[in-house]
């Protein structure tokens, strides 16, 4: 029987080679058969105090209705994260004959006494699978993936610094295909190129079924604002500890190092007198990272990006005039900006944007392709805007609904504008303009404008206020943490926002304002036409 993805929503009441514009999509988007499944069951936890067993019982009771109740179907817990109000978000991926189904995963929201709901994607009615034996072994799959990446690249091959492959089922219009999901981290030897290619290789034919780049980078399209116009001094605001050469930019939750223009190595500690720490870029990266973590704690009730106090490591002065910034799965890296930009760490919205890519990786883990990739980028833009409002409690100004306005030379425009996405000349602001294969930063304008309109709606004004931004951002964070999954599209993004608002206890009028914001950009998920 042909398989297909079923979108689950149950709740209560960046080409293989990177250019200076960031990771372009490469490879075809996966074909999926989707059908919405909504179950509005809230019930007592079967095993109070045990979120994993309660989540499993909740799914087992509904497996038949969801089309995943056959003997070969199972679920594997991938993470359990603490949410607000003591809730746990239990993330599970679907297994078929003991092998993960790529992109089929759910998030179950459990408190000590209740299971509140489940969201995600499931591959339904896949049919009986024989004992899976890949014709192409793991090492051969890694070689094929590397050869495919090199063939698509102009210039010398990229050096692979780490790579891994996992056997998965890949579901498309033809059914379930046994495949290898290959993850790599590569870096150029001469030019400063960083990439996190992800590929799905057919385990029988060796064909590439899907490919995208998971590096989380700030786009570097055209000019931006400038630091000379934004003088800054950190006054007793940088977290430091004693080091070998004085005090170092380091604390239990933060570490910042200086790459000194290199793109390899671990970097050196930034040390100096506590009265005057050296290095503008290092100070900005360190100080803004602290602001971002403070916002997560104060506004979102989150302990760092993983909910468990993960330390943020930042690298500055990366490469020779590198004009970008990126999250690589372990740390945030900032270049000096080249001819067009000032150092990327000099803008709070950029720093928060990159750090919150780490939040997404620890929670929804949205793929960097298609509408899911656009949702990923938009979420980080939302974080950048929220951090800007959080840091300046004295003013409510929508110009801070922009990303990167402080780092451009020669009076350029911001990287992106959440309220006016089309201002940059390439971003879209309505789903009717979306096309498969679109650059994720450009497609992110749909969800960006939805957030701007949502913040205005929750502000009760024609412009967003600080409190309106806080309340809207809180919902977006909860949606990422407990509703969205790896392949969530715009509609699933909308459903997650409304579901999160309901579970947070937002008033019906506020939930309607959120639905109206998404409807304004062509995304309807509230059942209305």
State the catalytic residues: 441
3-state secondary structure of 335: strand
Per the CB < 8 A criterion, the answer to whether 132 and 167 are in contact is yes
What gap in Å lies between CA 98 and CA 106, rounded to an integer? 17
Per the CB < 8 A criterion, the answer to whether 524 and 518 are in contact is yes
Nearest of 464, 472, 522, 465 to residue 500 by alpha carbon: 472
* CB within 8 Å of 434: residues ≥ 6 apart: 371, 374, 428, 443, 446, 490
* CA 432 from centroid of its chain's CA atoms: 23
* CA 73 from centroid of its chain's CA atoms: 28
Nearest of 389, 362, 357 to residue 376 by alpha carbon: 357
What gap in Å lies between CA 450 and CA 443, rounded to an integer? 12
Bridge-based pairing of strands 216-217 and 325-327 is antiparallel
Structure tokens at 291: 């602001």
Q: What are phi and psi of 461, to 5 degrees?
A: -135, 175
Nearest of 271, 270, 276 to residue 234 by alpha carbon: 276
């Amino acid at each position: 029987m042909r398989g297909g993805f079923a979108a689950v929503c149950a709740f209560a009441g960046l080409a293989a080679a990177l250019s200076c514009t960031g990771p372009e999509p490469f490879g075809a988007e996966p074909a999926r058969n989707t059908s919405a499944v909504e179950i509005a069951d809230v019930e007592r936890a079967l095993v109070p105090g045990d979120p994993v067993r309660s989540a499993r019982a909740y799914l087992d009771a509904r497996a038949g209705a969801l089309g995943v109740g056959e003997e070969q179907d199972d679920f594997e817990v991938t993470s359990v994260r603490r949410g607000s109000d003591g809730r746990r978000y239990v993330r599970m991926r679907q297994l078929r004959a003991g092998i993960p189904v790529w992109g089929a995963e759910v998030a179950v929201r459990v408190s000590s006494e209740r299971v509140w709901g489940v969201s995600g994607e499931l591959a339904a009615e896949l049919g009986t699978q024989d004992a899976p034996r890949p014709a192409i072994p793991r090492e051969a799959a890694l070689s094929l993936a590397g050869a495919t990446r090199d063939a698509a690249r102009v210039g010398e091959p990229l050096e692979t610094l780490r790579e891994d492959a996992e056997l998965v089922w890949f579901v498309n219009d033809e059914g379930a295909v046994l495949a290898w999901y290959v993850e790599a981290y590569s870096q150029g030897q001469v030019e400063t190129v960083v990439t996190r290619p992800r590929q799905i290789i057919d385990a029988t034919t060796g064909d590439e079924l899907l490919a995208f780049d998971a590096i989380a980078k700030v786009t570097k399209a055209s000019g931006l604002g400038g630091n000379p116009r934004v003088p800054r001094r950190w006054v007793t605001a940088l977290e430091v500890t004693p080091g070998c050469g004085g005090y170092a930019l380091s604390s239990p939750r933060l570490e910042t190092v200086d790459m000194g223009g290199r793109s390899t190595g671990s970097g050196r500690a930034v040390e100096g007198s506590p009265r005057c720490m050296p290095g503008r870029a290092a100070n900005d990266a360190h100080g803004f990272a602290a602001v971002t973590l403070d916002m997560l704690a104060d506004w979102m009730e989150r302990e760092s990006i993983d909910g468990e106090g993960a330390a943020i490591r930042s690298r500055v002065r990366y490469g020779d005039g590198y004009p970008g910034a990126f999250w690589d799965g372990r740390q945030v890296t900032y270049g000096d900006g080249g001819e067009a930009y000032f150092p990327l760490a000099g803008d709070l919205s950029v720093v928060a944007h990159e750090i919150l890519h780490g939040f997404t990786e620890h929670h929804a883990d949205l793929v960097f392709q298609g509408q899911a990739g656009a949702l990923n980028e938009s979420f980080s833009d939302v974080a950048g805007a929220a951090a800007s409002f959080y840091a300046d409690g004295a003013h409510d100004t929508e110009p801070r609904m922009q990303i990167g306005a402080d780092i451009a030379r020669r009076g350029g425009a911001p990287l992106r504008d959440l309220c006016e996405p089309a201002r940059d000349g390439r971003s879209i602001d309505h789903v009717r303009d979306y096309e498969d294969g679109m650059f994720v930063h450009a497609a992110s304008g749909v969800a960006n404008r939805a957030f701007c309109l949502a913040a205005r709606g929750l502000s009760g004004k024609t412009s967003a206020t600080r409190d309106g931004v806080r309340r809207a951002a809180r919902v977006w964070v909860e949606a990422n943490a407990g509703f969205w999954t790896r392949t969530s599209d715009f509609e699933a993004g909308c459903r997650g926002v409304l579901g999160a608002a309901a579970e947070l206890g937002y008033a019906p009028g506020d939930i309607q304002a959120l639905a109206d914001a998404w409807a304004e950009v062509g995304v309807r998920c509230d059942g209305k036409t």
